[in-house]
């Protein structure tokens, strides 16, 4: 039986495979995994003993109709060169490297190619997966991939030139949000006798409730701000500070991340000459 293969079981690759299995998008018996470090598969295989461990990337390529490339961006080319002669007919490659364009991969693989940028929040089924299909991907194949990722949250099919800013809003955003509230909690500690774990729990619970409120009531950000920060009140004073300071902070943040995206893309362009 042709398998769905995963090459690489690093942080995101392991998370992706585990979540697709956990939420029923994949049957363990149809999954084949290959990784340089067998230790990385121990937990996954202990939870899903019917998952198959391939002896090599070549074996995986020979047995898989769909292959997820979950290796580091700089390693994708080497893996492609290794498996290309062994790919089954009509193979569909799916890769998760944000800084690697489909144009570069197509220099080595002239077939069905999908780029997906998942998010760590797929672990709680509240993620946005960014998806781009090249011209060789059929409607049926595209639908199959999108159905897989819909088990993890929202699927957003976008043009490839939107991946950089899209990744900042989805894949990178959990870290940005955590960093913002880490500093908020630290400031609250300075002005109170709350212990760190108490302040974190209070803010985290409020953050979760805020997200649920926005979602359940279909509220916009401005509507929620107006509901809390009433005219002449305490919250309004805080909003004034944020409105003054945050726009430039986030402009600077995006300039930094987009510059880094460009550096990686430029490096990959040279690698794929």
What's the whole-number mean pLDDT along residues 141-160?
97
Query: Higher model confidence: residue 35 or residue 115?
Result: 115
Q: Is the dihedral of CA 129, 121, 254, 209 positive or negative?
A: positive
Residues pairing with 157 in the sheet: 131
Calculate the average pLDDT of the chain: 95
Tokens 């230790």 belong to 39
* Short-list 158, 69, 173, 94, CA closest to 127: 173
Tokens 């805080």 belong to 238
Report the pLDDT value the prediction gives residue 1, as an integer from 0 to 100: 60
What's the whole-number mean pLDDT along residues 85-89?
94
Confidence check: pLDDT of 262 > 70 = yes
What's the whole-number mean pLDDT along residues 22-50?
89
Interaxial angle between packed helices 196-216 and 221-228, expressed in degrees from 0 to 180 and rounded to the nearest 10: 120
Confidence of residue 44 (pLDDT cuts 50, 70, 90): confident
What does the block give as tokens for 100?
Answer: 């690697």
* Short-list 121, 93, 101, CA closest to 12: 121
Residue 269 main-chain phi, psi, to 5 deg? -60, -40
Residue range 130-140, pLDDT digits in tens: 999 999 999 99
What's the whole-number mean pLDDT along residues 77-103?
95
Domains of the chain plus CATH, in order, are 3-159 (3.40.50.720), 173-269 (no CATH)
d(CA 82, CA 153) in angstroms, rounded, equals 33
Report the pLDDT value the prediction gives residue 36, as an integer from 0 to 100: 83
Residues pairing with 68 in the sheet: 6, 94
Of 27-41, 115-129, 241-255, least confident by mean pLDDT is: 27-41
Confidence check: pLDDT of 42 > 90 = no
* Short-list 164, 109, 110, 107, CA closest to 132: 164
């Amino acid at each position: 039986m042709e398998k769905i293969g995963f090459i690489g079981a690093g942080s995101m690759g392991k998370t992706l495979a585990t979540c697709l299995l956990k939420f029923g998008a994949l049957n363990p018996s149809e999954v084949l995994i290959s990784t340089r470090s067998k230790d990385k598969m121990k937990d996954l295989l202990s939870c899903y003993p019917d998952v198959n461990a391939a002896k090599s990337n070549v074996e995986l390529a020979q047995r898989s109709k769909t292959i997820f490339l979950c290796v580091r961006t700089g390693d994708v080319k080497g893996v492609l060169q290794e498996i290309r002669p062994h790919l089954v007919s009509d193979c569909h490659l799916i890769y998760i490297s944000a800084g690697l364009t489909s144009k570069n991969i197509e220099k080595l693989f002239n077939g069905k190619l999908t780029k997906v940028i998942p998010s760590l929040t797929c672990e709680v089924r509240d993620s946005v997966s960014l998806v781009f299909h090249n011209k060789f991907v059929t409607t049926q194949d595209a639908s199959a991939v999108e159905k897989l990722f819909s088990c993890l949250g929202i699927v957003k099919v976008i043009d490839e030139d939107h991946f950089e800013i899209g990744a900042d809003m989805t894949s990178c955003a959990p870290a940005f949000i955590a960093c913002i509230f880490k500093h908020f909690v630290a400031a609250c500690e300075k002005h109170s006798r709350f212990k760190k774990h108490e302040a974190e729990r209070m803010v985290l619970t409020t953050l979760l409730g805020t997200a649920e409120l926005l979602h359940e009531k279909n509220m916009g950000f401005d509507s929620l701000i107006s509901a809390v920060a009433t005219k002449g009140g305490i919250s309004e004073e805080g909003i004034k500070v944020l409105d003054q300071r945050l726009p430039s902070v986030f402009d600077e943040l995006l300039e930094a991340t987009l510059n880094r995206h460009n550096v990686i893309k430029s490096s990959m362009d040279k690698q794929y000459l």
